[in-house]
Structure 1
Amino acid sequence: MKDRSILTDYVREHWPHYLMAVVLIILSNIAQAALPRVLGQFTDALLAGNIRYEMIIDYSLILAGIGIAYNLLFGAGQFSVMRLGRKFEFAMRQSLFRKFATLSEHYFSRQGTGKLLSSMTNDVTSVRESISNGITMTTNAIFLFLSCLVMMLLSHIPLYLILVSIVPMVAIPFLVVYFGPRIRKRSMSVQESLAVMTESAEEQLRGIRVTKTFAIEPTARQRFGSTVDQIRDNQLHLVRMSSLFQAAVPFLGALSLVISLMYGGYLAIQGSITIGNFIALTLYLRIMSGPLQQIGNVINMMQRSSASLDRVNRLLGEQPDIQDDENALPLAASPDLELRDLTFTYPGSERPAISGLNAHIASGQTVGIVGKTGSGKTTLVKLLLRIYDPPAGTILLGGTDVRRISINSLRSRIAYVPQDGFLFSTTIRDNIAFSDRDIPLEKVENHARQAMIYEPIARFPEQFETRLGERGITLSGGQRQRTSLARGLAKTGPILILDDSMSAVDAVTETGILENLVQERQSRTTIIIAHRISAVKQADWIIVMDEGRIVQQGTHQQLLNEQGIYASMYQLQEEGLHS
């Protein structure tokens, strides 16, 4: 994506509205620039002694009309620009969220959530302010300055007096060249430190219960305080440079006014110009000092927003690691799953997470996968769902390489229930019906019964309309797991994967859930990943993994007879139950 393309594309798309707003602001500048000329003419007429009361009324009406025209025109132009800026802000946040939805898990493992949130808030706001205030202030500064110059000439103020008075303003472009890059560099540092602070704040707030449990509030405050200190230092550097620039620009305007007072006053005493022209000149230079100040503000704003816009453009230019094949196919209705010498190493790692896996799971089977922590069970699931792409030809569904299957078709038809199922801050019903919000309440209740979470929910005053706290904090650990399981059961598809998703429930509840699964999942494939043998012993086929490899396969009884890792795990767990 080309630099600043999202901004230029938006302005190009809405150019008629921006043009109308700019024209309104230009007309308001012309009206404002007429004010000193009228006052100068009134002053000369007053000093000449040939003004009548009716002329005073006329001049008053003219000045009132100028004031009304200026406010109406400028107000309408500014409103139009501000409205377009808010629409741009909305569109940019929508674009960022759509981009985040397409990126792969590997990207989010490298980028902190706080930095991404900072881009959607701080960076987007900064760019919106630049496009809104920047257009208004730039148009106002340029055309008000030009309008004043034209009006001074029409007022018969000598050209040499005008040129001498505005000499100090020639230095403004040199100030811009010097201060601009330095302000931009410091703005980039401020935005980066704001992103770090947002990330730190999010982490500290998410872990506040752990912090309180361990009574380490001072340590948490110190850790967060260090990020705030960094923001303070960076902002002070930015403020110091911006203040110098913003002070230098109006100083040049004041210097022009001093020159006009000294030289223009001398010419008025000598009779070379009228008193009215002298008053008009000083008023024009006073008005022109406003645009000079605005130029300084615009440069500061643009340099700051440029750093934000660069960050946003980089995010929008990110490409997902996992993409559909050009000729992607839909997932078969009832696919077999086959692993062919599957080996995978995570990016940045030297050691394979899984190595040489070979297995076949027939459609409709219930298969258990057990193994110690770190044996590669979850990695296998991530490859099956294409959270990470497996090597070509190593995972086949329905005889088709998983890399040739449409990502949407693959993931929409596989229900995955992880150990720590994320629950959203909405109602229990919405969480269970997450894959299809049109599911009737009766089906939601049925899936809750299958996951053995119906009775606890029914005891809540609002039952399935109970709103959960952040990450489902309203529920206990076991209740969250069972609610997540009910959500997985509500997602109709040929394959259901339970990734240690009953670890927080007791043995009796686990048995009841497994019995319900047998009835619910007939003729559909179910993969149960677990540490507890009790969760998989009734499965049609069991795969045992250790250190990234499949070390055993068979039924429960066959694996017990082999006296290998599976039998050892079973014996230890049985002893633990009876101890």
Structure 2
Amino acid sequence: MIKTGWITPARFLYSFLNCVIGKLVTLVSIFRKLAWYFKAERRTYFWGVIGLLLTALLGIIPPRIIGMLVDLMDKRTLTAGKLGLALGVMTVTALLAYAARFLWRTAIWGGAANLERTLRERLYWHFMQMDTAFYQRYRTGDLMAHATNDLSAVQRVAGGGILQFADSIITGGTTLIAMMIMVNWRLTILAVLPLPLIAIVARYVGTKIHVAFGESQAAFSRLNNKAQESIEGIKVIKTLGQEKQDEADFEGQVQDTIKINRYTNFLDAMFDPLITVIIGLSYVATIVLGGRYVTSGVISLGQLVTFIAYVGMLVWPMFAIGQLFNTMERGNASYDRVNFLLHEKSSIVEKTDGIKQPATGTIDFDVKAFNYPDDKEPRLTDVDFSLSTGHTLGIVGRVGAGKSSIIKLLLRQFDDYQGAIKMGGHDIRDYTLDAYIRSIGYVPQDSFLFSTSVKGNIAFANPDLSDQAIEDAAYTAAFDTEVDNMPDGYQTEVGEEGVSLSGGQKQRLAIARALVIDPEILILDDALSAVDAKTEAQILERLGSNRAGKTTIIAAHRLSSVVNADEILVMTDGHISERGTHAELMAQNGWYKRMYDQQQLSDSIGGGND
């Protein structure tokens, strides 16, 4: 049997029904996903729909009045009184329509803004609760794309989507009813004929838009990541003379993003022209048949004018149908992306009945084995130590030996390990996160600084901190003299991520920031690596005086940072290979002694930082 290109009525009906069902599934899908919000805001959207209904009903009146005036003019019976009455009715109708439009705009757009705010707050709070593994899986640019573009697309569902859905039904329905009752049902059927064509077009183009929009969002995320990475690494790029290469790489990604967006916009732009052509055909057919009805006396000239005005009123509902599917496709894809993030679970589970008192007391660390989520081999094996309150522990070793892993476990960045870590006799997993984390002051090697003043950064944990407390913290961190030499003292702006400060200045500012909370435990994770030996000794001496009776943990590559520690652990391949005081380790004549001697020799030759 030879297949022809003709579309049979059965195939047309099947395609139409398939299209309608597919689009209804999309509508039901996204509305079901957002049902929790629409239920909470049902009153707001109720008044929005009432406003749309009133607007649609009031919109029927002016075309009918104009048609009646045309009939009066055609019959030469129009008087000043009748004209004044008609104008008065139209004026009142316009004022009422203004009030109805104000009602639905306030309700629907206000509801959409509330949804966006709610989702932004949820997503931001979710980001605050997620663990380290989450941020290893997702790049910052991707998360920013979810928090901007995706949320805006979902917001359009609750705003433009509701408007398009309700208005296409209400305005389209009331207009069609008015056309059948006030004019002629045959002309009305002719006006309805384009609707199946619009639905079919929306089905095929809408599916492609869904895929293209996903690719567009992914391209935006990649470009976001590239821009952020280049800006953060601008010093390295300039130092290595890679400006042109990085610019070329960025330009390539921009071109790829533009290419993808052009295709998306091309598909998006297909809706309006296609609908315009279909509406144009409807106008032509309406005028031809309507003209015959006027000449044959089936309808009056005024009724034809009214009908043509009603056809014009159908343009927006038809546009709304096409835009509705586009909005829903985008919103559906974006909500899925955001919802996927919101359903990511942190591996750090806080007990609802956890200990709420601040964590204090001796630290008992006994981890039999720990490996990161994506690692098969354990990163720590049989690591145990006890650190009494008021004592200092030093942790040293080569890069990758396990120093930072111990600290990450102490900070509860990972909870999945064999063994137990206790503080004050309680497993640290039994504390609430607020009670436990607030007892720790943590300073990493590369601390993040905010784009504010020196004072603002130091007092970040307590904005109401007194100037004296800020200055005392800066003194303990040996940063006070540096601040005094700055142009605006403690009000000096440090720039984005502290770009105006040296590495050593950043570290000392971060130490001061940690000190102002007076933590039970101070953890310095190679936080003195960028200062010279003299400044390091000064900081350690002041910390010893300032933190008498408080616990300190120092992880370092430079062994001079830990010589005064009560106990020093030497880490090798995830386990403790040497332990003891500085004098005891020097006497063991092992890795610690060899490394200490090498570093002392290097310092005597003339090493230094800051």
Quickly name the TM-score band, shorter chain normalised.
over 0.9
- Identity level (%): 30
* Aligned partner of residue 393 in structure 1, secondary structure: strand
Q: Distance in 1 between matches of 2:244 and 2:137?
A: 29
**How big is the shift at 1:445?**
0.9
One-letter amino acid of the counterpart of residue 127, structure 1 = V
Q: Give the residue type in structure 2 aligned to 1:20.
A: W
Q: CA deviation at 1:404?
A: 2.5
Structure 1 counterpart of 2:154, which letter? V
The aligned residue for residue 451 of structure 1 is: 477
Report Cα offsets for 1:248-293 as digits up to 9, x if no partner.
Answer: 3332222222211111111111122111111111121122122211
CA 1:33–1:4: 2 relative to 1, 3 Å? closer
> Which residue of structure 1 lines up, in the alignment, with residue 76 of structure 2?
49
Q: Paired residue for 2:47, among 17, 20, 30?
A: 20
1:36 aligns with 2:86: no
Offset of 1:331 from its aligned partner? 6.4
Q: Which secondary structure state, in structure 1, belongs to the residue aligned with residue 587 of structure 2?
A: helix
Query: Once the 2 structures are TM-superposed, how far is the Cα of residue 87 of structure 1 from its aligned partner?
Result: 2.6
Alignment of 1:68 onto 2:99: no
**Equivalent residue letter for 1:60:** L
Counterpart of 2:570 in 1: which secondary structure?
A: strand
Q: What aligned pairs does 1:386-535 form with structure 2 within 5 A after superposition?
A: 386-535=412-561
Instruction: State which of 217, 236, 258 in structure 1 corresponds to 2:262.
Output: 236
2:358 and 2:439 in contact (8 A); partners too: no
Secondary structure of 1:24's match? helix
Residue correspondence of structure 1 range 32-431 to structure 2 within 5 A: 32-155=59-182, 157-325=183-351, 327-330=353-356, 334-431=360-457
Partner of 2:23: none
**Deviation for aligned residue 1:111:** 0.2
TM-score w.r.t. structure 1 length? 0.95
Q: Following TM superposition, by how much is the alpha carbon of 1:558 offset from its aligned partner in structure 2, in angstroms?
A: 1.1
Cα pair 1:34 1:151 within 8 Å, conserved: no
- 1:386 maps to amino acid: R
SS in 2 for 1:497: strand
Q: Give 1:98 deviation, angstroms.
A: 0.2
CA distance in 1 between partners of 2:489 and 2:298 (Å): 90
From 32, 35, 43, the equivalent of 1:8 is 35
Q: CA deviation at 1:527?
A: 0.9
1:26 touches 1:144 (CA, 8 Å); kept in 2? yes
For residue 23 of structure 1, what is the amino acid of its counterpart? I
**Distance in 1, Cα, partners of 2:176 & 2:519:** 74
Q: CA deviation at 1:403?
A: 2.5
Task: Count matched residues.
Answer: 577
Please give the secondary structure, in 2, of the residue aligned with 1:475: coil
Stretches of structure 2 lacking an aligned partner (at least 5 in a row): 1-28, 606-610
Q: Which amino acid aligns with 1:38?
A: I
Tell me if the contact between 2:355 and 2:431 (Cα under 8 Å) persists in the aligned partners: yes
What does residue 599 of structure 2 align with?
573
User: CA 1:161–1:330 in structure 2 vs 1: closer, same or farther (change >3 Å)?
Assistant: closer
SS at match of 1:368: strand
Task: Classify 1:5/1:494 alpha carbon distance in 2 versus 1 (closer, same or farther; 3 Å).
Answer: farther
SS at match of 1:394: strand
Q: Structure 1 residues 4, 69: closer, same or farther in 2, change over 3 A?
A: closer
Q: What is the alpha-carbon distance in structure 2 between the residues aligned to residue 529 and residue 148 of structure 1?
A: 76
- Partners of 1:346 and 1:10 lie apart in 2 by 38
- Give 2:174's aligned amino acid: S
**Following the alignment from structure 2 to structure 1, what is the Cα–Cα distance between the partners of residues 494 and 117?**
28
Q: How much has 1:179 moved relative to structure 2?
A: 3.0
- Secondary structure of 1:267's counterpart equals helix
Unaligned runs of 5+ residues in structure 1 are: none
Q: Is the 8 A contact 2:131 2:413 kept in 1?
A: yes
Q: Distance in 2 between matches of 1:379 and 1:470?
A: 29
CA–CA separation in structure 2 for the residues paired with 1:290 and 1:533: 75
Distance 1:390 1:520, change over 3 A: farther
Quote the offset at 1:330 in angstroms.
Answer: 4.5
Specify which of 562, 576, 580 is matched with residue 536 of structure 1: 562
Distance 2:309 2:496 in 1: 60
What's the RMSD between the two structures over aligned residues?
2.0
Give the conservation status (yes or no) of the 8 Å contact 2:369–2:419. Answer: no
Distance (whole Å) between structure 1 residues aligned to residue 448 and residue 190 of structure 2: 70
Given residue 72 of structure 2, which amino acid in structure 1 is its aligned partner?
A
